[in-house]
Amino acid sequence: MNSHARGPRLPTPRGPLSAAVTAYLRGTGPLPRPAEAEAADPYGDDPQLALYLCYELHYRGFAGVDPKLEWDPELLRVRAALERRFLSALRSDTPGHDSLDDTLGALLVEPVDGSGVTHFLCAEGVLWQLREYAAQRSLYHLKEADPHAWVLPRLWGRAKAAMAAVEYDEFGGGRADRVHARLFAALMADLGLDTAYGRYLDAAPAEMLAVVNLMSLFGLHRELRGALVGHFAEVEITSSPGSRRLAEAMRRTGAGPAAEFFYDEHVEADAVHEQVVRHEVIGGLLAEEPELAADVAFGIDATEYLEDQLARRLLTDWRAGRSSLRTPLTAETSHTS
């Protein structure tokens, strides 16, 4: 079987960087110069899509793209330039806490008058907004937990054992029908969305690409293992209350049983994961490498910063009555890939 034919199609470029990377993947043009990547807006559509294209070669790749390009030296050089620009901006722009204890403490406080995306969807969201939310999040949830698996060879002892236990749950505990990515595909089907992997890449704005790219950035670099653990902690600690609100939104709008189940499942599972991640993954990591505390805090803070940017985009558009997507959704017949 020709493996070049597998994977989603390449997306439409959004500027000179992503156009050049796309052309290189197709074998029809040269890559951009690293200096061009380092001069771009780090959060813009063009560099974020270019970086996403580079990272996706480490997941399922793209139809018609030679798998050998995953380790192409010239492409890796461009990727490194995009990463330097992105990471430098995050270190400069992310509001930080004084200590890891302060960072974790802030995560554990659930605001009484929360005003984020899940609060909005729970209280007043309508079905088209839930569909858009699911379409955007599908860029991660259809490969849920995959970016985090890269950290396992970089941990040992308590941290490794605990991280592996949480990942085992994310991958269905040995049951294919319980893999969280498959459960999210069922949610998408309930919402009348196409469940094909990568289907909504063209529609997702830069803010969503940045959220997913952050996971790949942290996961693919051993020196950023502390930041990856921090990112994972932020996701797991905030997931349970957010999932409870999203489950209620799905019920209130009649989204469907699979849509409800996905978030109900995360309410219970992530409440347990939160304790394991805080006490065993972070605790175990810092027992071995206490010097990584600042990196763990940065991973948490950078994740919150990008999620806040995404939330601002979604809520600004939705409150104005317009789509948050680059190309609004249409009625579709869902299918699995």
Would the pLDDT of 84 be above 90?
Answer: yes
Nearest to 152 by CA among 140, 136, 168: 168
Tens digit of each residue's pLDDT (9 = 90 or more) over 94-120: 998 888 988 888 887 776 677 899 999
pLDDT of residue 334: 41
pLDDT, one tens digit per residue, over 274-313 is 889 999 999 999 999 999 999 999 999 999 999 999 999 9
Give percent helix, percent strand, percent coil of the chain, each to the nearest 5: 70, 0, 30
* pLDDT tens-digit readout, 229-285: 999 999 998 888 999 999 999 999 999 999 999 999 888 776 788 889 999 999 999
| Cβ-contact 55, 87 below 8 angstroms | no
Confidence category of residue 121, pLDDT binned at 50, 70, 90: very high
Summarised one tens digit per residue, pLDDT across range 308-330 is 999 999 999 999 999 999 999 97
234, 108 contact by CB (below 8 A): no
Q: Is 302 helix (H, G, I), strand (E, B) or coil?
A: helix
User: Distance from first CA to last CA of the chain, Å, rounded?
Assistant: 17
pTM: 0.94
Please report the pLDDT score of residue 332 as a whole number.
55
